[in-house]
Amino acid sequence: MQPSGTLTSIVLAAALLAAGCATAPPPPPTQPPAPVENRLPGAQSLPAPGIRPVPPPATTAPGMAIPPLPAPQPPGLQLPAPPAPSPIGPQGQALVMQLLPPVVTRDRAGWAADIAAAFAALRLTPSAENYCAAIAVIEQESTFQADPTVPGLSKIVWREIETRREKYMIPKLALDAALSKPSPNGRTYKQRIDALRTEREMSELFGDMSDELPGGKLLLSGYNPVRTGGPMQVSVAYAEEHARSKPYPGGKGSLRDAVFTRRGGLYFGIAHLLDYPAPYRDPLYRFADFNAGHYSSRNAAFQQAVASLSGRALVLDGDLLSYVNGVPSAASSGTQRAVLSLSRKLDLSHDEIQAGLRQEKDESFYRTKVYQRVFALADAAAGRTVARETVPRIDLKSPKIRSKITTGWFADRVKMRYGHCMNRAAIARSL
């Protein structure tokens, strides 16, 4: 049923304004990480790659119905006393300069300064391992371009606009007229869309449309087909979430704008990579987490253990619950149903299992009864210690991705670059 009169004009105008942007579901609350993390005075520090982990406690005897709970800490780790953090000065910047790959031919000093500044602001351990982890991700994501180009970005936007035009049943002539309006930089919105090359340009375009067109702030908010930006391709949603607990020290301006700058993009990208405790024995799994979300590698191993115990085939994607737009949904996931089927073996109620699974995105999941008992049973059934981490099996899809790649492919590529960087570190130490 069509609205009439003035209401028709309002609805049509609103639809036209909204049509100038692209539909995309908001990203998950934490996005998609390597070796250690931030340690304030008195906080525990997890070992960096190269520190030999202590073997996990002995498994229970096969056939035991309810295994005893292991100690309430991530398995296989001995937490060392935390080093006192120290400011990262010229020496830290000099080390970063030595570790940067040869591909960085422009403003090496600027890149080193911004990487070191991010480590200082986040109070991250200024080790070669951590610097190399960040450098490897930057090189993989953008080859050290502060504002990387996105091939075919204009076509991506027009394709999304056409989708919205059809959804709102807007005549093409009407849409063309709306996008022919001059923008603040003198060019029309159509001209700017045709010339789009980078995510920063897209962000500025959407900002202008939001500010200049009536109702734009409401209608254009969140409608961006490319949801990550900057030299580490970190998501705006992650930046907003991180800033809620640790205010961004970058000064004025929106967090969205900060993500598209070199300094802001490095700050939030390095935070996403390193600013959370994960006791992985290999940096490969942090690199996988950077792509798939915090603790995805741990959760994928949990899914693997549950699949083995329950006899059910599960997708090892690192998501234990079902999500809609990054929020847990009422629908149960395959993993959830499989764990619930083990409730008697685990000697846990459904409520206890659900409460544990709801902590899947946090470090605290390690200490839940459901995590500990699933792995104790899995160890007993296998007669050995089963893996506590595995790379999630995820096919990556995005308007920017043109070929079939996976989280495993991404993690392997970053680890290769990490190895090259650590070779440069060894050479630097020998000089």
Per-residue model confidence (pLDDT) at position 74 = 39
Q: Do residues 136 and 421 touch, judged by C-beta distance below 8 A?
A: yes
Q: Do residues 128 and 92 touch, judged by C-beta distance below 8 A?
A: no
Of the two residues 13 and 159, the one the predictor is more confident about is 159
Question: Which has the closest alpha carbon to 81: 47, 51, 45, 50?
Answer: 45
Extract the tokens encoding 72.
């309430």
- Sorting pLDDT into bands at 50, 70 and 90, what band is 398? low
Helix (H) and strand (E) counts for the chain? 19, 6
Mean pLDDT in the chain? 78
> CA-to-CA distance for 281 and 268, rounded, in angstroms?
24
DSSP for 213-255? STTHHHHHTT--S--EETTTTEEHHHHHHHHHHS--TT-SS-H
User: Is the pLDDT assigned to residue 59 strictly greater than 50?
Assistant: no
CA angle 318, 320, 322 (to 5 degrees): 110
Alpha helices, DSSP H, located in 41-169: 90-99, 108-122, 128-142, 153-167
User: Is the pLDDT assigned to residue 217 strictly greater than 90?
Assistant: no
Of the two residues 347 and 76, the one the predictor is more confident about is 347
User: Is the pLDDT assigned to residue 301 strictly greater than 90?
Assistant: yes
User: Is the pLDDT assigned to residue 352 strictly greater than 90?
Assistant: yes
DSSP for 62-93? TT-SSPPPPPSS-TT--PPPPPPP----HHHH
How many CB atoms within 10 Å of residue 391? 26
User: Is the pLDDT assigned to residue 294 strictly greater than 80?
Assistant: yes
Q: What is the DSSP letter of 114?
A: H
User: Is the pLDDT assigned to residue 374 strictly greater than 70?
Assistant: yes
Of the two residues 168 and 306, the one the predictor is more confident about is 306
User: Is the pLDDT assigned to residue 218 strictly greater than 90?
Assistant: no
- Sorting pLDDT into bands at 50, 70 and 90, what band is 13? very low
> CA-to-CA distance for 301 and 288, rounded, in angstroms?
13
Of the two residues 122 and 73, the one the predictor is more confident about is 122
Q: How far is CA 176 from the centre of its chain?
A: 36
Task: Tell me the C-alpha to C-alpha distance, in Å, between residue 241 and each of 115, 164, 270, 387.
Answer: 21, 28, 14, 30
The residue type found at 50 is: G
Q: What are phi and psi of 229, to 5 degrees?
A: -160, 175
Task: Tell me the C-alpha to C-alpha distance, in Å, between residue 46 and each of 138, 141, 272, 281, 301.
Answer: 23, 26, 16, 10, 20
Please identify which residue in the block is written with the tokens 């949603």: 237
User: Is the pLDDT assigned to residue 278 strictly greater than 60?
Assistant: yes
Per-residue model confidence (pLDDT) at position 401 = 55
- Sorting pLDDT into bands at 50, 70 and 90, what band is 77? very low
Per-residue model confidence (pLDDT) at position 213 = 61
- Sorting pLDDT into bands at 50, 70 and 90, what band is 32? very low
- Sorting pLDDT into bands at 50, 70 and 90, what band is 88? low
What would the mean pLDDT of 311-340 be, rounded to a whole number?
A: 90
Q: What percentage of the chain reaches a pLDDT higher than 70? A: 74
Extract the tokens encoding 307.
């699949």
> CA-to-CA distance for 393 and 426, rounded, in angstroms?
33
User: Is the pLDDT assigned to residue 73 strictly greater than 80?
Assistant: no
Of the two residues 325 and 92, the one the predictor is more confident about is 92
- Sorting pLDDT into bands at 50, 70 and 90, what band is 162? confident
> CA-to-CA distance for 321 and 357, rounded, in angstroms?
7
Q: What are phi and psi of 323, to 5 degrees?
A: -130, 145
- Sorting pLDDT into bands at 50, 70 and 90, what band is 28? very low
Range in 73-87, 141-155, 359-373 the model is least confident about? 73-87
Of the two residues 32 and 138, the one the predictor is more confident about is 138
| 196-211 residue pLDDT tens | 988 888 878 877 877 7
- Sorting pLDDT into bands at 50, 70 and 90, what band is 272? very high
Range in 120-129, 148-157, 346-355 the model is least confident about? 148-157
Per-residue model confidence (pLDDT) at position 61 = 34
Please identify which residue in the block is written with the tokens 């045709």: 194
- Sorting pLDDT into bands at 50, 70 and 90, what band is 315? very high
Q: Do residues 215 and 9 touch, judged by C-beta distance below 8 A?
A: no
Range in 21-35, 160-174, 279-293, 412-426 the model is least confident about? 21-35
> CA-to-CA distance for 345 and 355, rounded, in angstroms?
17
Per-residue model confidence (pLDDT) at position 90 = 67
Q: Do residues 232 and 141 touch, judged by C-beta distance below 8 A?
A: yes
Per-residue model confidence (pLDDT) at position 220 = 55
DSSP run (H or E) holding 324: strand 323-324
What would the mean pLDDT of 407-416 be, rounded to a whole number?
A: 96
> CA-to-CA distance for 337 and 310, rounded, in angstroms?
10
Extract the tokens encoding 232.
């580490």
Q: Do residues 232 and 272 touch, judged by C-beta distance below 8 A?
A: yes
DSSP run (H or E) holding 323: strand 323-324
Sequence length of the chain is 431
Per-residue model confidence (pLDDT) at position 413 = 97
How many CB atoms within 10 Å of residue 94? 14
CA angle 406, 407, 412 (to 5 degrees): 100
Q: What percentage of the chain reaches a pLDDT higher than 90? A: 52
User: Is the pLDDT assigned to residue 145 strictly greater than 90?
Assistant: yes
Q: Do residues 329 and 301 touch, judged by C-beta distance below 8 A?
A: no
